[in-house]
Amino acid sequence: MRRTGTAIMPLHGGRAPSWLFERMKRLASSIVAVAVYEIGTRALLRRLSDPYWFQCLGCVLGFDWHSSGLTTTVTGAIKEGISGMEKEIGLFVAGGKGRRSRKTPDELRDYGDKHGFDADRYILYSRLSAKVDNTAVQDGYQLYHHCFFLDMQGNWAVIQQGMSESDKRARRYHWLGEALESFVVDPHAAVCSDSRGSTLNLVHHESQPAQKLIVELSREHPDRVFNDLKRLSESDSLFGNLRLPDRHYQRVSDIRPERYRSILLKTYEAGVKDFQSLLTVEGMGPKTLRALALVAELIYGTPASYEDPARYSYALGGKDGVPYPVDRITYDKTIHIMERAINKARVERSEKISALKRLHTVVSKTISVL
């Protein structure tokens, strides 16, 4: 597994005007179709998983380069643009923004039923990628957009985005399903961002001891963990003169043990085997995981990593007039040229297939005579 990048953008409201979005759908579908014909779906997924390439695609389509809406609008334009052509192109897109993101499993299952592949595997990948970015990497950005790309060979990518209402920014996460190694140990190949924060990163390799202890705590009888949480929240004298690290995202006094009893009972009964399976337990959210990480560090001396994983051209103008307004005439000409090229490629491909069929018929007749 490789998570290939993250991009940080200002959080903008609103939506793309209909005159622009309709053009974006046509141009996006043309670009995708040409890319598939030229380089194949696997190479296209690699490019979609690159935050810089994806940002450039948004600029080519005429959206604002620095807007959070680029993510939702571009993925939406691709999904709607290739709707009905998925089988021909060999690429499927599931999910979207808000409520649509929650439909990802149903859409993947529907694709699987229609085209004969095991959807459950990709539903798990979809769920885990979201769980990692929303729960195991706690950077203050709450996911509200999730888009899953899948081709007929089983190659896949995820583009998802979270928002931070406190600093009015959005963070975009890119995943690529090649070279699957681990969802929970350094899944990031590169994470690009213009800012860093105080981040609990439970998928950093330094967090592996903490992962192991957290899993052990989740398998303990809830009363034991409940008592540990209670000790933390009720007795500052427990630590004597120990100075706690400044980096903690929550104070000991913030813990309310009664909040966690039900989910700890669920993990205890489930008998989770590892950190990845712990993430998939229903109800295992950021607050419970933070509490267990805090118990692991402050009582058992096993710290988690706080290394933030973030490191960090217009062709047709921009929606808001930056660097200049969208040139509708040029935009429509571009769409026309792209669609004409695709139709030509389809005709040439059809002619080649017909020629091969004719050759096969001739060869078969010749062999039968011999």
Q: Do 144 and 163 contact (CB within 8 A), yes or no?
A: yes
3-state secondary structure of 338: helix
Please indicate whether residue 283 or residue 332 has the higher confidence score (pLDDT): 283
Query: Residue 323's pLDDT band (boundaries 50, 70, 90)?
Result: low
Asked whether residue 246 carries a pLDDT value surpassing 60, the answer given is no
Asked whether residue 86 carries a pLDDT value surpassing 90, the answer given is yes
Asked whether residue 187 carries a pLDDT value surpassing 80, the answer given is no
Query: Residue 123's pLDDT band (boundaries 50, 70, 90)?
Result: very high
pLDDT cut 90: percent of the chain above it? 36
262-274 confidence digits (pLDDT tens): 888 999 998 899 9
- Greatest mean pLDDT range, 198-202, 203-207, 362-366: 203-207
Asked whether residue 283 carries a pLDDT value surpassing 50, the answer given is yes
pLDDT at 78: 97
pLDDT at 11: 67
Query: Residue 320's pLDDT band (boundaries 50, 70, 90)?
Result: low
DSSP string, 259-289: GTHHHHHHHHHHT--SHHHHHTSTT--HHHH
Asked whether residue 116 carries a pLDDT value surpassing 60, the answer given is yes
Number of other CB atoms surrounding residue 180 within 10 Å: 12
pLDDT at 366: 45
CA separation for the pair 346, 360 (Å, rounded): 21
Please indicate whether residue 17 or residue 111 has the higher confidence score (pLDDT): 111
CA separation for the pair 173, 189 (Å, rounded): 12
Give the type of residue at 216. E
Number of other CB atoms surrounding residue 160 within 10 Å: 24
Asked whether residue 193 carries a pLDDT value surpassing 60, the answer given is no
* Nearest alpha carbon to residue 1 among 188, 143, 190: 188
CA distances from 107 to 13, 99, 113 (A): 27, 13, 10
Q: Which 8-state DSSP code applies to residue 236?
A: G
CA separation for the pair 148, 232 (Å, rounded): 40
pLDDT at 238: 42
pLDDT at 58: 87
Please indicate whether residue 214 or residue 6 has the higher confidence score (pLDDT): 214
Query: Residue 346's pLDDT band (boundaries 50, 70, 90)?
Result: low
Q: Do 296 and 265 contact (CB within 8 A), yes or no?
A: no
133-155 confidence digits (pLDDT tens): 999 988 888 999 999 999 999 99
pLDDT at 234: 64
pLDDT at 333: 79
pLDDT at 124: 96
pLDDT at 306: 81
CA separation for the pair 36, 91 (Å, rounded): 9
Q: Where do the structural domains in the chain lie, given as residue ranges?
A: 2-197, 206-298
Query: Residue 237's pLDDT band (boundaries 50, 70, 90)?
Result: very low
pLDDT at 244: 45
217-236 confidence digits (pLDDT tens): 999 988 888 888 777 766 54
Number of other CB atoms surrounding residue 139 within 10 Å: 23
pLDDT at 279: 94
pTM of the model: 0.76
- Helix intervals (H) in 49-187: 51-60, 69-81, 86-89, 104-115, 119-131
Mean pLDDT of the chain: 80
* Nearest alpha carbon to residue 41 among 191, 209, 153, 176: 153
